[in-house]
Structure 1
Amino acid sequence: MTTVLLVRHGLTALTGKLLLGWTPGVGLDERGLAQAKAVAGRLAKVPLDAVVSSPLDRCAQTAAEIAAVGPDGAARPAVALDDRIGECHYGDWTGQELATLAKDPLWKVVQAHPSAVTFPGPQGEALRDTQARGVAAVRDWNARLGPDATWLLCSHGDVIRAIVTDALGMHLDMYHRVNVDPCSLTVIRYTETRPFVLRVNDLGGTVDDLLPKPKEAAAEDEAGTEAADGAASESVVGGGAGVFTPA
């Protein structure tokens, strides 16, 4: 089972004001840097086989903070940049105020029928293509790193929502129902038969369930999985007991 931790970049001075898209040179502000350091601290004990980021500054800076803090002070892998998890190419909408764009007739289509949207202008991208490249990147990295890997992807709100929507088996037209805040943590575990969405838009609390298990517990799990004939890919009827961490 490959576990993917998806983290949205931290705040910039323009987040929520402009549709940044691929606008160059927009990095984290003081709030965003604090958010990045906080999520890096939360994940410090979680071993990561790779840290992969959108090439845009706000993501690369967030990923660099996470890569700088590893278990027991050990160095994490260098951040790998992947254009496929870069922000949607919003074309002529790039850099415009959100309040202005909300008056454009296309805005209603984006809200109600995003799978039909191609953003205007020669550089505009279809949201369905944004989803396709994002999901392809996840699948490629899963295959490259192997079934026992845990790795982190740092990307953008629309890209992460599109990946989550795919993992949930939902149509892209429902992706606005998934909320992804700055520096939130989303976790998807990919098995041979299906993905399991473990967390969405998680902004705080323990991450003990993401830590490697002691050898004895791991051996018991392996034996139990073999006895259950592939239970790792099955969903527990009734919901199961989950993970309990004593206070």
Structure 2
Amino acid sequence: MATRHLHVVRHGAANTFGELTDVGRQQSKLVADRLAGLPIDAIWHSPLSRAARSAEIIGEYLPNAPVREAAELIDHVPHVPDDIPPAWAGFFDGYDPAEAAAGTRLANALIDRFARPADTETHEVLVTHAYQVAWLVRDALGAPLARWLGLSCGNTALTAIEYYSGAAPTVLLYNDMGHLPPDLRWTGFGPGVRP
């Protein structure tokens, strides 16, 4: 049975202009080193510069894997719940029905393109954004649509999902930062106590 292995990575830490910082570049090199031992067939990235640059760095460590843009990986809000949880009310202020519908279309395109089995054994790296990682995990687990809320991940944290023909997907890793030293972990999260 052919398996599609998705190695999903949030981009490295970026500044307010969306460009990788020195920390983000270092994080990207460390996740690349972790992925270098795998038989990676392709590296896909969001069109946004922070993800594209992270993918370029990863590609330097995986020279046999082509680095390509995938519009489906762009940063967006994948789902606006009808009944917004009170803790998230401020987050969704200003989202109108057209924006919500556009987010739904992008989320569906992401799932249609990447969250399915392949005809042959494949290992792909997706360099994307926190919401897209959350959406892929939510989908793989068959969780309710609103469950993507609160599934945050750190910069260059690794999530691994496998897709098989005739079986439910398997989430092997989520938000794994084992390749990062303690001082480079938990970037991309708000302040708080972390394990």
* TM-score under structure 1 length normalisation: 0.61
Q: Is the 8 A contact 1:49 1:151 kept in 2?
A: yes
Which residue is equivalent to 1:78? 66
What count of residue pairs does the alignment treat as equivalent? Answer: 171
What pairs with 1:125-140 in structure 2 (closer than 5 Å)? 125-126=100-101, 127-139=103-115
Q: Is the 8 A contact 2:77 2:131 kept in 1?
A: no
Please identify which structure carries the higher helix content.
Answer: 1
User: What are structure 1's unaligned runs of at least 5 residues?
Assistant: 15-24, 91-105, 206-247
Q: Is the 8 A contact 1:85 1:137 kept in 2?
A: no
What pairs with 1:190-229 in structure 2 (closer than 5 Å)? 190-192=163-165, 193-204=167-178
Per-residue deviation at 1:177?
Answer: 3.9
Computing the radius of gyration from Cα coordinates, the structure with the larger value is: 1
| CA RMSD between the two structures | 3.0
What pairs with 1:7-46 in structure 2 (closer than 5 Å)? 7-14=9-16, 26-46=18-38
Change (3 A) 1:43 1:155: same
Please identify which structure carries the higher strand content.
Answer: 2
User: C-alpha offsets along residues 20-68 of structure 1, whole Å, 9 cap, x if unaligned?
Assistant: xxxxx62101111111111111111112011111111000111111111
SS in structure 1 of the partner of residue 47 of structure 2: coil
User: C-alpha offsets along residues 205-233 of structure 1, whole Å, 9 cap, x if unaligned?
Assistant: 5xxxxxxxxxxxxxxxxxxxxxxxxxxxx
Per-residue deviation at 1:80?
Answer: 1.0
Q: In structure 2, how many angstroms separate the alpha carbons of the residues matched to 1:110 and 1:137?
A: 32
Q: Is the 8 A contact 2:43 2:59 kept in 1?
A: yes
What pairs with 1:42-57 in structure 2 (closer than 5 Å)? 42-57=34-49
Change (3 A) 1:118 1:2: farther
* TM-score under structure 2 length normalisation: 0.76
Which residue is equivalent to 2:120? 147
User: What are structure 2's unaligned runs of at least 5 residues?
Assistant: 180-195
- Higher RCO (CA-CA < 8 Å; seq separation 6+): 2
Give the share of equivalent positions with the same residue, in percent.
Answer: 26
Which residue is equivalent to 1:160? 133
Change (3 A) 1:110 1:195: farther
Which residue is equivalent to 1:99? none
Name the aligned partner's letter for residue 132 of structure 2: V
